[in-house]
Chain A
Amino acid sequence: MPDIFNIGVSALLSSQRMLGTIGHNIANANTPGYSRQRVEFEARPPQILGNFFVGKGVNIADVSRLADQFLINQVRTGTTNHSQSAAFLEFSSQLNNLLADAQAGLSPGLNEFFNGLQDLGNHPSSVPTRQTLLSQAQTLVARFHEQFARMDEIALAVNDRIEIDVDHINELAQSIADINRAIAQTSGQAATGAANDLLDRRDQLLEELSGMVGVQTFEQDDGAINVTIGNGQVLVVGGTAMNLVAVNNPFDASRKEVAYDTGAGPSIISAQIGNGELGALLNFRDDLLDPTRNALGRMGVTLAQIFNAQHREGMDLTGALGGDFFSIPAPAVNANSGNTGTGTVVAAFDPATVGNLTISDYTLTFSAGNFSITRLSDNTTTLLGGAGSYTIDGLTLTLGGVPVAGDSWRIQPTRQVPRDIGLLITDARNVAAANPLRSRSQLANLGDARVTAPDVTNAANANLLDTVTITFDDPPTTFDVVDTTTATTLASNVAYTSGMTVSFNGWSVQLTGAARAGDQLVVEYNAGGVGDNTNARLLAALQAARVLDGGTANLQDAYGSLIGEVGAQTHQAEVNESALKALLEHAVNSREEVSGVNLDEEAADLLKFQQVYQAAARVVASANQVFEELLNAVRT
């Protein structure tokens, strides 16, 4: 008789437990990372009664957690990959939209500026036209500044996000360590079961962490999980969490790097972190933002260099030779904050090899008495030598001082250019639209010898503006060249052929036609030549001049490829993001199939165990009735 009671009570208690678990499942139906639980029943060990066994009711074997570690790991990997692509997309979209904005883009500024030069060519003597050109130049420069500022904002946002992510990672690591400790403590107490809800919580934290940075996990015997990131940097060991810190780049205080705090000072591990949101931030900055900023700067330097060179070969409205039009900032050289020597590194742009400029940054190192330079885009190292002057990739480096082996510098040739490029011309009259020289054939000439307009080849020549006569000898098969300003004979009895080019004093002209003895051609300073548009035309032609990338691309090409590169990477990121999002969703679905709570299922279970409970109650009641029957029988 007590057996029936015991059996009934065991059923009552176990179904009560099950109903509680169903309630727990329903309560957590929307809890992220929650795995549904189930009470596992087992029949109690039977009682031997003579020749046979008698059942004794039900026991609760376990409250199990329906989870599949493989699926959890898949979700974790999926999260790492997806948040990496999503973060990259988030930032590359910002850059992409910045460049797509036709109003803020550089392209309209460039077009307007060069059209302004064409207008100047049409009206070289008009001061209002010159004013317009100057304001167009100002707009162009402002566009560079604006683009720099907006890209700098993106760089600052990357810095901020790195700091936030590092803090978040530290918090997560600490929480995981805490849960590790709690799990380790509980694992000793229960013989078989595990702390299901703690495991869920830890998996949830690990999923969040894997979104920040890719993790590797190692389960320990006591149930704790050790977590490493990068290529083996330990983040969590048992109940202890290590700290990441965001530190300044040793070359550049405006850049945040991820460092691992070993206790003996932070060591930078940015290069080892390639995945998760943090990896995406670092990749975006190194592979897209920096090259884009450098490319923009290179456009600025190239434009300024070739424009200034041509402008110096012209003559302004006041009759003076043109000066520099744009100001060109020097390449940025940042010494490593850990340098111990007193080496001096001065970098400058080399006007002669402007086409060799790259969009890479460089690291200059000193060791064993020699400087060597590494181009970071392809990691090519060139051994330079000791102190001295070197030209590489469009840069002139002047190295000196007393460096110590191991000292290093970071050279960012063009990064700051869009910020610092400026306009040097403020007076519209100083725009050099004219040729500083003109040529003429004397009216008294009997022959038809003609001289083309002089082409200035070296504006720095001291005798550039001297009057030079080319006088044909008798017979006119030869000619003499005399600088009448300095009364110097530059050449005598030069053999004449029609179409020949002669060059003196930093200019060259072409001579054509049949000359007669005594005919004279003159090259002279173009005093009063305000209607001359020669240099304006030459300046306008720079728009199409192929000067970048070793003379294969013009300014517009360079800007086009910059936009194309950002567009392509953003496009790639979009494709990746949607593909990885689908993969992640798939992984989450697979996990949910096993672990997710289905309310209808729980409702059915609820009914089922309600009925079991009712039946068990009936069993107890029956036992009671049977007992009553027995008592009644004895009573009578």
Chain B
Amino acid sequence: MRISTAQLYQQSVSQILNKQTALGRLQAQIASGKRILSPADDPAAAARVLDIDRQQELTRQFQTNADLAMKRLENEESIIAAATTTVQRVRELALRGRNTHLTDDDRRFVAAEVRERLKELVALGNTIDGNGDFLFAGHQAKVLPFTQDATTGLVTYNGDQGSRLIEVSPGRTIADGDPGDAVFMAIRNGNGTFVTGPNPANTGSGVIVSGGVTNAPAWTGHDYRIVFTTATTFDVIDDTTATTIAAGVAYTDGAAITNIPGVSVSISGAPATGDEFNINPSANQSVFATIDNLADALETSIGTPAARAFFAGDVNRSLEDLDQALEKFLEVRATIGARVHAIEGQKNANEDIGVQLTALRSDLEDVNLVEAASQLQLELTTLQAAERAFARTQGLSLFDFL
């Protein structure tokens, strides 16, 4: 085989250039730590890396979302805890005010504190978050959720029933709060199933007390009325169907009346002929209305036996309603706790996913440094050898000997 001088030169040079290209590449890989310097190096992996990049970004975003939702829920929880304390104080005041030895003035002092507590509760309901958004206004973040009428003392809710959902993982959303409506307003009154009360026209001293639900499926949800036809007998009337379901039942002071399907009530004291007591299905009553009712009852003078009976009935009702409110708060706090727990679980899961994604990405695009370094050494050695060989062969010429 012949070889031309130019070819000898050209071959050596192109080999050296090839080695240098390989070295440059290795050097760039080692410097960046990346195996894939451009999509052409591994097109499939490059596309995967892009997708992983998106998932990583998204996972980071979900963690941000989760942290935020958690903070908001913790904030809400602390507000509802404060509201619970307030309502418990009101309950204590109700128990104190129930004491019939108190004078009208004493009760009015109690009532004054109850009204202060009401304002405190309204203020809690109007808490704002870090953004200046009202915590309990639903989606009406810029609308003052609870306003109290200066003259009637009635509190109205101005927000809506929306609750903001925060995405904490693909497709999984968690509400970062509860509308004020659900926390403070939509509270079933009475014992949660039915509510009892005297007819305002009653003249006797009979007081009705709800005995509770004895058979839930049997409860019809109708309006019932107990009418004393004499001081010792009464009829039970279903007002919804306008039928008398029991007539001339003998009255025993404090005994359970079980004529109404599924529930039991009792009446104590001395009802007068014509006195009526209502048993209605529970409706929604705000905790504000409950407290306001209590204050109203405490402010009423109790000179007559009938008035005392009304007062006793009202306070009983208030205690029942306050218990409902406390239960509601507890229920909301329980769901908040469950949500916080869920978020914590999701955060851990997201973290795991993040670690996996990082590992996956590293597998795809990171250079194996040990391998690359030894490869670099090898390329360097061969480059040096090629350069030496070039210098030696180029130094040879027959003309030197002529």
Residues of B contacting A107 with CB < 8 Å?
50, 53-54
A531 touches B40 (CB 8 A): no
A443 touches B167 (CB 8 A): no
A600 touches B221 (CB 8 A): no
B19 proximal to A (CB < 8 A): no
A596 touches B2 (CB 8 A): yes
A561 touches B40 (CB 8 A): no
A593 proximal to B (CB < 8 A): yes
Contact with B along A562-592 (1 / 0, CB 8 A): 0111111011011000000000010011001
Residues of A contacting B60 with CB < 8 Å?
115
Contact with A along B50-71 (1 / 0, CB 8 A): 1101100110111011001000
CA distance A567 to B402 in the complex (A): 56
Residues of A contacting B7 with CB < 8 Å?
588-589, 592-593, 596
Contact of B142 among A528, A570, A594 (CB under 8 A): A528
CA distance A446 to B165 in the complex (A): 27
A438 touches B161 (CB 8 A): yes
Residues of A contacting B131 with CB < 8 Å?
123, 125-126
CB closest residue in chain B, given A439: B161
CA distance A380 to B39 in the complex (A): 31
B3 touches A118 (CB 8 A): no
CB closest residue in chain A, given B5: A599
Within 8 A of B (CB), among A158-179: none
B141 touches A111 (CB 8 A): no
Interface size class of B (residues with CB under 8 A): 35 or more
B167 touches A121 (CB 8 A): yes
CB distance from A521 to the nearest CB of B (A): 10
A500 proximal to B (CB < 8 A): no
B252 proximal to A (CB < 8 A): no
Given contacts A122-B68, A600-B398, contact A567 B38 (CB under 8 A): yes
Contact of A528 among B2, B46, B143, B167 (CB under 8 A): B143
Residues of A contacting B44 with CB < 8 Å?
564, 568
A111 touches B43 (CB 8 A): no
B140 proximal to A (CB < 8 A): yes
Interface centre among A29, A122, A526, A585 (most CB of B within 10 A): A122
CB distance from A474 to the nearest CB of B (A): 10
Contact of B166 among A92, A110, A121, A564 (CB under 8 A): A121
A100 touches B37 (CB 8 A): yes
CA distance A557 to B142 in the complex (A): 40
Residues of A contacting B142 with CB < 8 Å?
125, 528, 530-531
CA distance A533 to B165 in the complex (A): 7
CB closest residue in chain A, given B56: A111
A557 touches B51 (CB 8 A): yes
B395 proximal to A (CB < 8 A): no
Residues of A contacting B133 with CB < 8 Å?
125, 530-531
Given contacts A526-B160, A556-B54, A600-B5, contact A567 B46 (CB under 8 A): yes
Interface centre among B4, B37, B142 (most CB of A within 10 A): B4
CB distance from A189 to the nearest CB of B (A): 31
Residues of B contacting A30 with CB < 8 Å?
6
A150 proximal to B (CB < 8 A): no
CB distance from B221 to the nearest CB of A (A): 7
Within 8 A of B (CB), among A588-636: 588-589, 592-601, 603-604, 606-607
Contact of B221 among A111, A516, A534, A557 (CB under 8 A): A516
CB distance from A487 to the nearest CB of B (A): 23
CA distance A541 to B140 in the complex (A): 24
Residues of A contacting B165 with CB < 8 Å?
533-534, 537
CA distance A531 to B164 in the complex (A): 7
CA distance A576 to B164 in the complex (A): 57
A564 touches B43 (CB 8 A): yes
Residues of A contacting B134 with CB < 8 Å?
531
B139 touches A570 (CB 8 A): no
CB closest residue in chain A, given B48: A560
B162 touches A593 (CB 8 A): no
A596 touches B47 (CB 8 A): no
Residues of A contacting B256 with CB < 8 Å?
none
Contact of A100 among B39, B140, B173 (CB under 8 A): B39
A533 touches B3 (CB 8 A): no
Within 8 A of B (CB), among A528-547: 528-534, 537, 540-541, 543-544
A412 proximal to B (CB < 8 A): no
CB distance from A614 to the nearest CB of B (A): 14
Within 8 A of B (CB), among A94-136: 96-97, 99-100, 107, 110-112, 114-115, 118-119, 121-126
A597 touches B5 (CB 8 A): yes
Given contacts A592-B7, A597-B5, A598-B5, contact A603 B40 (CB under 8 A): no
How many residues of chain A are within 8 Å of chain B by beta carbon?
80
A38 proximal to B (CB < 8 A): no
A559 proximal to B (CB < 8 A): yes
A556 touches B51 (CB 8 A): yes
Contact of B139 among A96, A434, A540, A585 (CB under 8 A): A434
Contact of A29 among B3, B5, B41, B167 (CB under 8 A): B5
CB distance from B234 to the nearest CB of A (A): 26
CB closest residue in chain A, given B176: A122
CB closest residue in chain B, given A563: B39
Residues of B contacting A534 with CB < 8 Å?
165
CA distance A567 to B48 in the complex (A): 12
Residues of A contacting B186 with CB < 8 Å?
443
A599 touches B166 (CB 8 A): no
B164 touches A599 (CB 8 A): no
B47 touches A93 (CB 8 A): no
CA distance A541 to B139 in the complex (A): 20
A118 touches B61 (CB 8 A): yes
CA distance A100 to B166 in the complex (A): 34
A489 proximal to B (CB < 8 A): no
CA distance A428 to B341 in the complex (A): 35
Residues of B contacting A540 with CB < 8 Å?
167
A445 proximal to B (CB < 8 A): yes
A255 proximal to B (CB < 8 A): no
Residues of B contacting A598 with CB < 8 Å?
2-5
Query: B-side interface residues toward A, CB under 8 Å?
Result: 1-7, 11, 14, 37-44, 46-48, 50-51, 53-54, 57-58, 60-62, 64-65, 68, 131-134, 137-143, 157, 160-162, 164-167, 170, 173, 181, 185-186, 221, 281-284, 396-399, 402
Query: A-side interface residues toward B, CB under 8 Å?
Result: 29-30, 36, 92-93, 96-97, 99-100, 107, 110-112, 114-115, 118-119, 121-126, 434-435, 438-441, 443-446, 453, 516, 526, 528-534, 537, 540-541, 543-544, 556-557, 559-561, 563-568, 570-571, 573-574, 585, 588-589, 592-601, 603-604, 606-607
New A-B contacts (9) at CB < 8 Å, excluding given A99-B39, A124-B164, A593-B2 = A36-B4, A123-B131, A516-B221, A530-B133, A533-B164, A559-B50, A596-B5, A596-B7, A599-B399
Closest CB pairs A-B (n = 6):
A596-B4, A531-B141, A567-B39, A567-B43, A570-B40, A532-B139
Instruction: Write 12 A-B pairs (CB below 8 A) sorted by A numbering.
Output: A36-B4, A107-B54, A126-B131, A443-B185, A446-B281, A528-B142, A530-B140, A533-B164, A537-B173, A556-B51, A568-B40, A585-B11
